[in-house]
Chains A and B, each alone.
Chain A
């Protein structure tokens, strides 16, 4: 999957949100809250193809977590992003 263009990660009072900006996102009127881990992954997959496995590997690299939990979290996050319409499959 791939990040759709026009979505920008912003920090608001210490919290992370994704906002639709730019011409192609002018009718995107919601904001998506992220925790610090999700924000890290969002930044890390900018302008590249990624899969649930990519996210899992990044989680394993960066955090002290077992593979099963990482895979589960990565899958959950990816489906959330797809549902929110901010990545394309």
Chain B
């Protein structure tokens, strides 16, 4: 059965056998489900069960193997990329994605965890295929206040989610848009932040979007201070938070162009902070001129 989804205004399809998942394996996608698209799809993915690992083809080009992150091993052949994936570096591979060079048409063979495999393949295809549409798949936690999105960036474990939670607990009218992988996209000159079906460990899948109020890099500190970020620093901070896949030629140009435009139009800051209520108030007041 082919199902269609729309994320940040871009529509893609998943062809998956009926009864593939025992439970609600695709529940995070339901808010994004749409009618069959009339125009071109961002990408189409066909997912099937495989008996066992496929034998590989192509030349090994990159092995993304970092602690606490999924392992992605890239092979390239004349016509296609193949990406073998595992939930963590220490776990065995559970699926193999074969995609055309533009990542718009792909087949996924799954012999291990289906939920991880589908989510990971969809995120990867989305990040690659959406780059020409001024879209960035970010690693960030996003709070919404007064219909504006505030993105918190930072290295793994610096407290992005915690800072977002502190906003919700201490500032009236704050909600969470996404806790891990929102999409930032420029549409008609406006920098918008969209919810997505991917939100890390926090189930928060919202088909909503808001203009970006500010982008804030979170750094751990013993004090709570908010400082504006110089453009080049903001560029570096955002670039490092994009699922950039800089090793695929051509994509970097798109991502560079989008990140540059974001830096030019959105206020960017660094928030040195403790994980406490005051941090949320200092940050919010500094960003909005509020007096909480």
Q: Are B232 and A19 in contact (CB under 8 A)?
A: no
Residue A8 is within 8 A (CB to CB) of chain B in the complex: yes
- Whether A15 contacts B246 in the complex (CB less than 8 A), given A23-B62, A26-B62, comes out as no
Q: Are A12 and B247 in contact (CB under 8 A)?
A: no
Residue A29 is within 8 A (CB to CB) of chain B in the complex: yes
* Interchain nearest-CB distance for B191 vs A (Å): 14
Residue of B nearest to A33 (CB): B232
Residue A1 is within 8 A (CB to CB) of chain B in the complex: no
A-chain residues with CB within 8 Å of residue B232 when the two chains form the complex: 12-13, 15, 17, 31, 33
B256 CB contact (under 8 Å) in A10, A22, A29, A33: A10
Mark interface residues in A8-40 (1 if CB within 8 Å of B CB, else 0): 101111110101111101100101010000000
What is the CA–CA distance of A29 and B240 in the complex, to the nearest angstrom? 8
Q: Are A13 and B235 in contact (CB under 8 A)?
A: yes
A-chain residues with CB within 8 Å of residue B247 when the two chains form the complex: 21-23, 26
Mark interface residues in B242-260 (1 if CB within 8 Å of A CB, else 0): 0000110100100010001
* Interchain nearest-CB distance for A24 vs B (Å): 8
Q: How many A-B residue pairs have CB under 8 A?
A: 45
Residue B57 is within 8 A (CB to CB) of chain A in the complex: no
A-chain residues with CB within 8 Å of residue B235 when the two chains form the complex: 12-13, 17, 31
Interface size, chain B (Cβ < 8 Å)? 16
What is the CA–CA distance of A20 and B256 in the complex, to the nearest angstrom? 12
Residue B61 is within 8 A (CB to CB) of chain A in the complex: yes
* Interchain nearest-CB distance for A36 vs B (Å): 14
B-chain residues with CB within 8 Å of residue A10 when the two chains form the complex: 256, 260
A-chain residues with CB within 8 Å of residue B236 when the two chains form the complex: 17, 31
Residue of A nearest to B63 (CB): A26
**8 more CB-based (< 8 A) A-B contacts, given A19-B256, A26-B62:** A13-B260, A17-B232, A20-B246, A21-B252, A22-B246, A23-B61, A23-B62, A25-B246
Q: Which residues of B pack against A, CB within 8 Å?
A: 61-62, 231-232, 235-236, 239-240, 246-247, 249, 252, 256, 260, 263-264
Mind listing 22 A-B residue pairs with CB under 8 Å?
Answer: A8-B252, A10-B256, A10-B260, A11-B260, A12-B231, A12-B232, A12-B235, A13-B231, A13-B232, A14-B231, A17-B232, A19-B239, A19-B252, A21-B246, A21-B247, A22-B247, A22-B249, A26-B62, A26-B246, A26-B247, A31-B235, A31-B236
Q: Which residues of A pack against B, CB within 8 Å?
A: 8, 10-15, 17, 19-23, 25-26, 29, 31, 33
Complex A-B, nearest 7 residue pairs according to Cβ-Cβ distance, in ascending order: A13-B231, A23-B247, A12-B235, A21-B252, A26-B247, A31-B236, A21-B246
